[in-house]
Structure 1
Amino acid sequence: MTDPTSSFDSHHPPSRELLDDCVHCGFCLPTCPTYQLWGEEMDSPRGRIYLMDLAERGEIELAGAFTEHIDACLGCMACVTSCPSGVQYDRLLEATRPQIERHVERKTSDRLFRDAIFALFPYRRRLRAAAVLGLAYQKSGLPRLLERVLPARLRATQALLPPVRLREAFAALPRRVRPSGPVRRRVALLSGCVQDVFFHEVNAATQRVLAAEGCEVLTPRRQGCCGALGLHAGREDHAVERARETIATFEALPVDAIVVNVAGCGSSMKEYATLLADDPEWAERARRVSAKVRDVTELLAELEPRAPRRRMDTRVAYHDACHLGHAQGVRDQPRAVLRTIPGLELVDLPEAELCCGSAGIYNMVQPEPAAELGARKADNVRAVAPELLVTANPGCLLQIRRYLGDDIPLRHPVQVLDAAIHGPNGP
């Protein structure tokens, strides 16, 4: 059903009330990655809100320039943090992107590329098969041969491939991990899809660290994608289906918290209550699950450290993943957790508010601006001369590694804490 006075349909269009909150003051401009790259008003948050306003009034269509400027947005939410008026750009963007996906016919190559991403990444079994092929591909020497002839999107996807370790890609996490002492919290762990296949060691470190701090950790075997990729890309049906599956997996577990170690996943799971708000069967169930979701550093920051830490005389730079810092407002907790390690020197990055260019599937579908932002972030890392870079999102790890090279190791915060508690070679 379509409102004849609007270019949006009537299914959750951008709210007129939220659109009117923006007073176009410009405080968002210094923190917007695409505005910093191009200086183009329509590629700033206030410019995109102006376009949404015109579309809501039916004065412009969704195809063409409107879609181009919305697609160019990373969805990093730095503007939400910087806005003095409290404009909920995150809600506006997440209402606008599904409208585009429903009503704008993309070029065949664009549609097929996006479909391929969603046919692969949310499925662990398919990712494991891809890991086998990826390992063979990496060892074949083809990546170097094809680097100059591949289209930009495929070249970017190839460059982002992590070093594949089949043993970890096919490893299974223990379903239950108990602490050696009294149980302080009982938690469930989201193992994820991409995280569990390509960053399995982060999940294993998460279980070990939580257990060392007195948590009993339940990790349901039958769990999959939480819907984050679909939610941030405007694929509402995908996001809703995955959210329901994740809620059904975790809601019956007798736990104090649902722990997430991926910034984008945690952000989306905290939004389940909004995503399913008008679904009478799922709304309350979504609210209860969302209320339990905690980033792993949030939970660890709530617990007085119990496990002894080894001294680590290391200069560590911390990169705020956008969906942890901006979307969830979790900034102090990761730093506080890292500072429990004796000797560790923690430094912040210049232009810390600017996205690294990962942004879900952005660095694959928008490779040129993502490359500029990735190189800029790498330069800012080098500027503070760290011995180690730490960030809480696999997309950020892959993106920054691509432009930083092998000079500076990259780790998730729980991996650093795990090394301090159990030693660099594990327990």
Structure 2
Amino acid sequence: MTAQDDELGPLIDDCVHCGFCLPTCPTYVLWGEEMDSPRGRIHLMKQHAEGEPIGLPMVEHFDRCLGCMACVTSCPSGVQYDRLIEVTRARVEEEHRRPFGERAVRELIFQLFPYPRRLRALRGPLRAYQRTGLDRLVRRTGVLERLSPALAAMERLAPPLGRAPRLPERVAARGGHRATVGMLTGCVQREFFPGVNAATARVLAMEGCDVVIPRDQGCCGALSVHSGREEEGREFARRTIAAFESVDVVVVNAAGCGSAMKEYRTLLADDPVWGPRAEALSRKARDLTEFLVELGPRAERHPVDVTVAYHDACHLAHAQGVRAQPRALLAGIPGLTVREIADPEICCGSAGTYNLLQPEAAAQLGDRKAANVRETGAELLVAANPGCSMQIATALGRRGEEIAVAHPAEVLDASLRRRGRSALLPD
């Protein structure tokens, strides 16, 4: 019996199969299939723990799980489904050999997205591809769909790319010094949404923080850990810990990254060298909105006359329990009207690499979320995770609709710098 078996047994037994998770599970909502619900998947985990080999049908049900953690929020028994699915996915990757095409797509994803320098090398060609209109031609032909649904999803999700400003290693506090914080720049966030990082650094500085941005930081490991590539995730985690040990607080502006960093203590718990260092890093990781509320406002807020719809990213709301803080920051901006989106607990379908590996299910969930966003009548969608921003914008595009998208940092930045709605909405 392995250490994972020792861990899984008690966690599986916590589930009493009450069904409270069913209405919050995105795949159960879509299909109504018991084995595509959390308790159904836990039943499959129990079968495997009792000796049933991991076969293709079992793998398919595990792969269809988004890992959104809505079931963790809704469970009255405190079942740690987040840990159950991560351990199970690691077991799948160890014991199940995927078809060649599937392995190739997964390897492409994990050799590209966790490496900012590789993403940066892709920016130039991708920007030219968008600016020449070749992207529209390729989509009309459907050639990528026929070649690989995952590649087609990757191409559709790419946001419009502009210039990518580079941040210095340190941004000085304005006014009196209140704190020194480290800032994670991320992978997709850094290369596809650089304006979010720039806005984050400015907001922190205007609130009196010296912002340390280590040049040697890389991927936090979130994509790897959430996909069962645990050893790869551990290596990314060790590098991240080493990059940020000199600061007292690490501010994160991407929900999936923040969730992963807060769980380093679990990921590296068995490592006698890195375990204590992981525990220390997990204690000082904060979502940007969480940290700003703890710090309290000092910089003056100026009016931003915009109606926004705030989207709860799953790894912020469910995994980290950060719901009130983004809303509190937005409510503190004069002139801003915040509208709630129906069914906020149901994932938009992004879920890390899910919209690449399960594009059909992801598209169905994206369409649901897009319809709910449109029902708010908002001018601007605010989301605290790059994957969610790309997913919902793409779903709206399929409907022939567009909406401006911003991160809470960008909305706050527009207020603090007196830039108003013009900074957030196209002319």
TM class by shorter chain equals: over 0.9
Any residues of structure 2 matched to 1:312-323 within 5 Å, and which? 312-323=304-315
| Residue 174, structure 1, aligned to residue 171, structure 2 | no
Pairing of 1:246-265 with structure 2 (within 5 A): 246-251=240-245, 253=246, 255-265=247-257
Cα-Cα RMSD:
1.4
Equivalent residue, structure 2, for 1:292: 284
Whether 1:420 aligns to 2:412 is no
Does 2:208 match 1:211?
no
Whether 1:62 and 2:54 are equivalent positions in the alignment is yes
- Distance in 1 (CA, whole Å) between partners of 2:98 and 2:330 is 45
Q: Indicate yes or no: 2:144 matched with 1:150.
A: yes
1:330 equivalenced with 2:327 (yes/no): no
- The amino acid that maps onto 1:214 is G
Unpaired stretches in structure 2, ≥5 consecutive residues: none
Letter in structure 2 aligned against 1:299: F
**Residue 375 of structure 2 is aligned to residue 378 of structure 1:** no
Please say if 1:164 is aligned against 2:158.
no
Distance change in 2, residues 1:300/1:12 (3 Å): farther
State the 4+ residue runs in structure 1 displaced beyond 6 angstroms.
none
| Aligned twin of 1:92 | 84
Gaps spanning 5+ residues in structure 1: where?
4-8
Pair 1:39 & 2:58 matched: no
Change (3 A) 1:239 1:199: same
Cα drift, residue 132 of structure 1: 1.2
Listed as ranges, the matches of 1:296-375 within 5 Å are: 296-375=288-367
AA in 2 matched with 1:321: A
Question: 1:410 — aligned with what?
Answer: 405
TM-score normalized by the length of structure 2: 0.94
Q: Percent identity?
A: 58
Call closer, same or farther: CA 1:261–1:13 in 2, change over 3 Å: farther
* TM-score normalised by length of structure 1: 0.94
Match of 1:273 in 2: 265
C-alpha distance in 2 between matches for 1:315 and 1:220: 36
Amino acid at match of 1:28: C
8 Å CA contact 2:255–2:313 kept in 1: the answer is yes
Tell me how far apart the structure 2 counterparts of residues 46 and 13 of structure 1 sit (CA, whole Å): 20
Q: Is the 8 A contact 1:193 1:224 kept in 2?
A: yes
CA distance in 2, matches of 1:123, 1:56: 35
- Match for 1:128: what amino acid? R
Q: State the SS of the aligned residue for 1:298.
A: helix
Is the 2:174–2:209 contact (alpha carbons within 8 Å) kept by the matching residues of 1?
A: no
Q: 2:121 aligns with which of 120, 123, 129?
A: 129
* Closer/same/farther in 2, CA of residues 132 and 103 from structure 1, 3 Å limit: same
Question: Counterpart amino acid of 2:390?
Answer: L
Instruction: Report how many aligned residue pairs link the two structures.
Output: 413
Residue pairs, 1:394-405, within 5 angstroms: 394-405=386-397
Q: How far off is 1:175 after superposition?
A: 1.2
Q: Match of 1:150, SS?
A: helix
The 5 A counterparts of 1:168-207 are 168=164, 171-207=165-201
The alignment status of 1:224 with 2:221, answered yes or no, reads no
CA-to-aligned-CA distance 1:11-49 (integer Å, 9 cap, x gap): 567511110010000000000000000000000000000
Mapped partners of 1:399, 1:12: distance in 2: 36
Q: Secondary structure at the match of 2:286?
A: strand
Q: Which amino acid aligns with 1:286?
A: A
Tell me the CA shift for residue 180 of structure 1: 2.1
Per-residue deviation, residues 256-275 of structure 1 (Å, max 9, x unmatched): 31000000000000000100
Q: Offset of 1:399 from its aligned partner?
A: 0.3
Q: Does 1:28 align with 2:11?
A: no
Question: Residue type matched to 2:225 in 1?
Answer: L
Secondary structure at 1:34 match in 2: helix
Measure, in 2, the Cα distance between the counterparts of 1:216 and 1:334.
22
- 2:350 alignment partner AA: S
Task: Specify the alignment match of 1:109 in structure 2.
Answer: 101
> 1-side partners of 2:216 and 2:418: how far apart?
31
* Aligned partner letter, 2:415: A
